[in-house]
Structure 1
Amino acid sequence: MRVIAGKARRLNLKTIPGNETRPTTDRIKETLFNIFQPEIPGCRFLDLFSGSGAIGIEALSRGAEYAVFVEKNPKACTCIRENLSFTKLTDGGKLLNMDVLQALRSLEGGEPFDCIFMDAPYEQHLEQPVLEYLADSTLADENTLIVVEEDLHTDFSYVEDLGYHLVRSKEYKTNKHVFLKK
């Protein structure tokens, strides 16, 4: 796994061994950022369920002003710190080693993020409580692009009831990215 573009281009990133995280492949990450790219320069980026930090680091490398990484697994947090240090992007990143909903509450009251990305463990439906929280949060406004990576069969029919509209959906062999705005 590597950084695809920007300041840290071609640098290899560490991942934690085992099955606790599921890194986004370079091919899918490249497709995601081809879609995401107009939003990235100068943005405030929130990477939820960060894993190795690859998505937030890619955003920083491509010109995001600031990225917050949220990950509760201590091994993954060590990996994120090492990846930020190796890519020399530490100054632009903040790591919160806690549960995602706890982290969102701790960030409440700050400026809204421009981009929020979440890649929760598949088939555990952890994205729904996060989207429910963000629907009434100051962390996301009508300009915030929220991207959810989830299993291909995950149902998102409830998002309109929460006040979101589907901007786009991109499907791959086993998963998909759903792009939402308030």
Structure 2
Amino acid sequence: MRVVSGEFKGRQLKSVPTHQTRPTTDKVKEAVFHVIGPYFEGGRAFDLFAGSGGLGIEALSRGADSCVFVDQQPKAIRTIHENVRLLNIKDRVEVFRTDAYRAIKAAGKRGLTFDYIFLDPPYKKFSYQELVEALLEHQLVAEGGVVVCEHDASEEIPESVGRLNLIKTDHYGTNIGVSIFQ
């Protein structure tokens, strides 16, 4: 697993040493950032169900100012900290070990908003509609912000949630789907 483009292009990232997470492939990362980027002039990222932190780190590499990483698994949190240390980006990140809904609520209480939100939960375990509704309820999606959902290709994704509309859905192979809301 590596950073595909930007400041840290080509740098190898550690992956979580468990079967409970599945890293986003380079092909999928490239496709996602081709739609939402490919490069940014600042902005804040929120990487929920972060795993190794690959999506948030890719956003930082492509110009995002900062990223908040959230995962519930201790091994994932350790891996994110290792990747942050390897890239020397500690001053640009916050890392939290908690449940996604608690993280959403906490970020809302802090008044945070995000330009790029990445949702990559375990496939078929969470409702994307409910996750996006929670992001909107706590006012975390900045005006013009995007929410990227990586999901099982067979999952049905709503056409809109609140003020956000589905702008693109693609499938990669037989089981990976990516849907982007704005």
Q: TM-score scaled by structure 2?
A: 0.92
Distance, in Å, in 1 between the alignment partners of 2:88 and 2:15 is 17
Percent of aligned pairs with the same residue? 36
- Residue by residue, what CA displacement relative to the aligned partner does 1:122-173 show, whole Å, maximum 9, x if unpaired? 011343321121232211144111111101011123x536443111112211
Counterparts of 1:16 and 1:52, CA distance in 2: 6
Q: Which residue of 2 aligns with 1:70?
A: 70
Structure 1 pair 42–141 and aligned structure 2 pair: CA distance change class (3 A) = closer
* Unaligned stretches of 5+ residues in structure 2: none
Contact 1:39–1:114 (Cα < 8 Å) also in 2:
no
Deviation string 1:27-72 (CA, Å, 9 cap, x unpaired) is 1111111222157330111111000001101111111001010111
SS at match of 1:60: helix
Aligned residues: 180
SS at match of 1:114: strand
Question: Partner of 1:29 in structure 2?
Answer: 29
Q: CA RMSD in A?
A: 1.6
Structure 1 runs of 4+ off > 2 angstroms?
38-41, 125-129, 159-164
Task: Specify the alignment match of 1:58 in structure 2.
Answer: 58
Deviates more, 1:70-79 or 1:124-133: 124-133
- The alpha-carbon distance between structure 1 residues 128 and 63, as it changes in their structure 2 partners (threshold 3 A), is same
Structure 1, 69-78 or 120-129: larger mean CA deviation: 120-129
Three-state SS of the structure 1 residue aligned to 2:80 is helix
1:137 aligns with 2:138: yes
Q: Mean alpha-carbon deviation: is it higher for 38-47 or for 25-34?
A: 38-47
CA contact (8 A) 1:39 1:115 kept: no
TM-score normalised by L of structure 1: 0.92
Match of 2:132, as an amino acid?
A: L
Select the structure that is richer in strand: 2
* Partner residue, 1:85: 85
1:151 aligned onto 2:164: no
The answer to whether residue 101 in structure 2 is matched with residue 101 in structure 1 is: yes
Structure 1: runs of 5 or more not aligned? none
Does the alignment pair 1:2 with 2:2?
Answer: yes
| Amino acid paired to 1:151 | D
